[in-house]
Amino acid sequence: MELFTVIVIAASLAMDAFAVSVASGTTYRNLRLFYVLRMAIFFAIFQALMPLAGHYASIAFETLIADYDHWIAFALLFAIGCKMIHDAKKHSKEQHPNPAGLSVLIILSIATSIDALAVGVTLNLITDKIFQAVIIIGVITFLLSYAGCKAGQKLGHIFENKIEAIAGLTLIAIGTKILIQHLMQI
């Protein structure tokens, strides 16, 4: 069950990168394979490193938050989920910048992985195999970003916003599950 939860979290976290990839593929249909791969690699690296940074930050403050970690996990996942649902509505109105430029790609990579930093703070509540989780997050983000760009080139904006909203609901559900599990143990 732990592996399944990590995979679901990874897929949910990757939805921002997926949405940007779909929009990029739609807006810039002539993106060469090099740019598609570079986008997927950047998104994957940032998406993998942010939870790792969040995890190590949580270790530094572990004694301060141990009694409240399940509430923090719930609050963070709930807030991120709500933000993703809100952003799904907003994205349809935005103009997306050209992702082929390196500076734009770095900014997009940071912007799409901030959620992962917050999730990293709670990652130790889900698994003790942090490096395995980080690798899974990176691989899933790479695959979804690549697929999103290719799908965007072919299908356009058909499903971009709906998937991001579903990912937000999934993170809220995982946060609620963590909270309920810890409250049942008390």
Cα separation, 16 vs 111, in Å, equals: 9
pLDDT in tens, 125-181: 788 899 999 999 999 999 999 998 888 777 755 655 666 677 677 768 877 877 787
pLDDT for 21: 83
What's the mean per-residue pLDDT of the chain? 80
Establish how many alpha carbons lie within 13 A of residue 43's alpha carbon, considering only the half-sphere containing its beta carbon. 31
* pTM reported for the whole predicted model: 0.72
Q: Tokens 């609620």 identify what position?
A: 176
Question: Hey, where are the domains in the chain?
Answer: 2-185
| Residue 113 pLDDT grade (very low, low, confident, very high; cuts 50, 70, 90) | confident
